[in-house]
Amino acid sequence: MRGQRLLNRLFTLFKSSKNRTNPASLIPNAAGHSGEQKLSLHLQQNDQTLRTIYANCSDVIYRSFLIAGRTKAMLVYIDGLADSQGLEDYVIAPLMNDTTGDGTGIKPFVERKISVSQVNEFSTIPECIEYLSGGYPVLLFDHEVSGLALGLSKWEKRSIEEPAAESLIRGPREGFTETLRTSTSQLRRIIKSPQLKMEAMKIGNYTQTNVVIAYVAGLVDMTLVEEIKTRLNRIQIDGVLESGYIEEMIEDNPYSPFPQLLSTERPDVVCGCLLEGRAAILVEGTPFVLVAPVTLFSLLQAAEDYYQRFWIGTATRWLRYSFTLISLLFPSLYVAVLTFHQEMVPGSLLISMASSREAVPFPALIEALLMEITFEALREAGIRLPKQIGAAISIVGALVIGQSAVQAGLVSAPMVIVVAITGISSFMVPRYIMGITIRLLRFPLIFLAGTLGLLGIMMGVIAIVLHLCSLRSFGVPYLSGVSNPNLNQLKDVLIRAPRWMLNERPHFAGMYDQYRQAPHQKPGPEREDEK
């Protein structure tokens, strides 16, 4: 009997510990209640319920009045999210001033009297709270088991501006804002076809953040859309404050330093991706939109490549590819050659470098790491400082510290030049997150170069290439375009072919609409067959 009681106690403890570690049990109900609680027939009971849920909420306004001089009603809204002047002009005044009424029922009478374009009926407390949180004032009646949500939401929002991190010489000057409906309207203004679909959902138990999946039906592979929905529905979290929350939760490989979704503030970039058969994820409260799937080369392309002449776009693209490799490999090559492979340097240059390093007490590896860390610290400080002094501090700081370090004999002048060229090269990467990845990978390559020389660099590069070959973005190979060479895809990977040659749409997965424009559109004088 004692053994049986001991086993029962152990089983009880195991069950209780299992329940305590259940992640779902750690996230309470956001509304503070359980179940689909219905509205009461009595207005006073609904008033008490809402006041209990919104206890200690001074911004929730309750306005009781009589409709047509006889029916009790209550208007509830959140101050700052609803248009209070519109409520006064189009709801309260028409309902209170009309004392005639009719015999058709209170809600039909109200709907005829108020001048509001959008009116939604609801019958449960959770629906009422959802409308209130979205800025909709709710109108409740006595002896009615349903209420009306009025489309009079209004709050302060930022105006449309050019994205600071994605500025162009030629191209549209507008970017997304933190307001979701403003962002979706910007997509609608560009892609006017009804085939542009936008499916909405909410993520976050407390924030109830609105998320929209945008795609063009007929161009996108629907298995991609279903996969995005599955990954989004899998997210169980208390709140989503920025699209970066979602990006980390739906990646294919969360431990990879490479971004597996494209984040952008530009509507033209998102629309270009949608027309290629991709899908976009818009999140309320942030101007950054996620696009999936992506490849390595799409992260190294800029929107301006497609707005300039193709010769300029191709030259700029190759310049960008070259300086991306310089940003990744230049410091490690300098360290490897200076430490292990001096015979690769011309004699006169080697003598000059040796004389400049004569008073430096550190080996090339430590010297490079110190300078790179200092440069990254200055760049990060320039970002965090106010805009008026950030650029000046970063530039002057780099010049003063570099010159002082050379004069003090802590670093050599060639190392300062190498670090400066590397820093400038990293600014050529059009996507900020991709630039950070290149900067992070630079440090292990420098360490390998200082310990194993060129062999270490080769090992590091091979490891990076193998990782890129194994990487996927929603099932699409990260190196698509060169891993499976295709002439039509190479037209927009290694070069930027003329617009009249880009007839076929990129093929990411599944069935797709192959052609995006009619063939034989090369411009020139009028041909005989066109006369």
Q: Is the pLDDT at 17 greater than 50, yes or no?
A: no
Q: Amino acid letter at 11?
A: F
Question: For 418-456, what is each residue's pLDDT tens digit?
Answer: 888 898 888 888 888 898 999 999 999 999 999 999 999
d(CA 309, CA 201): 41
d(CA 219, CA 505): 9
Question: For 366-413, what is each residue's pLDDT tens digit?
Answer: 888 988 888 888 888 777 777 666 666 666 666 677 777 777 778 888
Q: Is 492 exposed, middle or buried (0-12, 13-18, 19+ CB in 10 A)?
A: buried
Give Cβ neighbours of residue 94 (< 8 Å, ≥ 6 apart): 113, 114, 115
Q: Amino acid letter at 127?
A: E
Residue 385's CB is within 10 A of a number of other CB atoms, namely 14
DSSP-assigned beta bridge partners for residue 289: 264
CA angle at 512 for the pair 510 and 515, rounded to the nearest 5°: 145
Lowest mean pLDDT among 119-123, 429-433, 514-518: 514-518
Rounded to 10°, the helix 243-250/222-233 angle is 110
pLDDT band, very low/low/confident/very high, at 19 (cuts 50, 70, 90): very low
| 413/137: higher pLDDT | 137
| 92/354: higher pLDDT | 92
* Sheet (strand 138-141) strand order: 60-67, 71-78, 138-141, 147-150, 119-122
Expressed in angstroms, the distance from the first to the final Cα of the chain is: 103
Give Cβ neighbours of residue 361 (< 8 Å, ≥ 6 apart): 409, 410
Q: How many residues does the chain have?
A: 531
Q: Is the pLDDT at 23 greater than 50, yes or no?
A: no
Question: For 163-216, what is each residue's pLDDT tens digit?
Answer: 888 888 888 889 999 999 999 999 999 999 999 999 999 999 998 999 999 999
Residue 148's CB is within 10 A of a number of other CB atoms, namely 24
Please name which of 476, 162, 497, 517 lies closest in space to residue 299, comparing C-alpha atoms: 476
- 65 φ/ψ angles, rounded to the nearest 5 degrees: -160, 175
Q: Is the pLDDT at 121 greater than 60, yes or no?
A: yes
pLDDT, residue 22, reads: 40
Question: For 257-304, what is each residue's pLDDT tens digit?
Answer: 999 999 999 999 999 999 988 999 999 999 999 999 999 988 998 888
Nearest 10 degrees: Cα torsion 329, 334, 338, 342: 80
Q: For residue 147, what are the CA distances in angstroms to 41, 99, 107, 118, 208? A: 11, 21, 9, 14, 22
d(CA 474, CA 477): 9
pLDDT band, very low/low/confident/very high, at 140 (cuts 50, 70, 90): very high
Structure tokens at 467: 């990782």
Q: pTM to 2 decimals? A: 0.84
Nearest 10 degrees: Cα torsion 26, 30, 34, 39: 180
Element of type H or E holding 344: none
Residue 470's CB is within 10 A of a number of other CB atoms, namely 12
pLDDT band, very low/low/confident/very high, at 466 (cuts 50, 70, 90): very high
d(CA 145, CA 125): 11
Q: For residue 51, what are the CA distances in angstroms to 42, 46, 142, 208, 236? A: 15, 9, 16, 20, 28
